[in-house]
Amino acid sequence: MRNLLTATAAALLVAGLGAQPAMAADDADAAVQHRKDVMTIAGASMGSLGCFMKGDCALDGKVLARLAKSIAFAGELSVPAFEVDTRDSMADTTALPAIWENWDTFEGGLNAMSAAADELAVAAADADPQAMGPLMQKLGGTCKDCHDNFRD
């Protein structure tokens, strides 16, 4: 175990010593996979919230609030995850070049998603679909805007 930690630390040190002219395929694939994993959290949480809103599953307020918070957290995680520009890689991704060409707009959208999810978390604590409805629409709108503009 000690050797693995030493090797990892050495690799990180060496990797940080100089700029790489191009991203290695494995690095791009790992960056894309990380982004997919983060977005899976948001999508799965949104799906569970939608299940509750449709009346198809019974979830208590504590669970609903945590689902909304997980979406907010996914938005926060997405900012550094998408900072890795994979435009010039061969990685299998649905991310459009517009992300990096319009970074401020993209980042603002992720921040709006997190803020809307945080608002929803407050209302979700009471498990009241009437109170949650407009906030679900607001959150869904942030997702749609991003997907329409930045996802293939």
For tokens 């990797």, the residue is 15
Q: How many residues does the chain have?
A: 152
Is 143 known as a binding-site position? yes
Is 51 known as a binding-site position? no
Task: Report yes or no: 152 and 133 within 8 Å, Cβ to Cβ.
Answer: no
Residues facing residue 95 across a β-bridge: 151
Is 34 known as a binding-site position? no
Burial class (CB in 10 A: 0-12, 13-18, 19+), 72: buried
What letter does residue 125 receive in the DSSP assignment?
Answer: T
Phi, psi of 141 (to 5 degrees): -65, -35
What letter does residue 129 receive in the DSSP assignment?
Answer: H
Task: Report yes or no: 112 and 56 within 8 Å, Cβ to Cβ.
Answer: no
Task: Report yes or no: 34 and 76 within 8 Å, Cβ to Cβ.
Answer: no
- Residues flagged as binding site: 143, 146-147
- Residues flagged as binding site for heme c: 143, 146-147
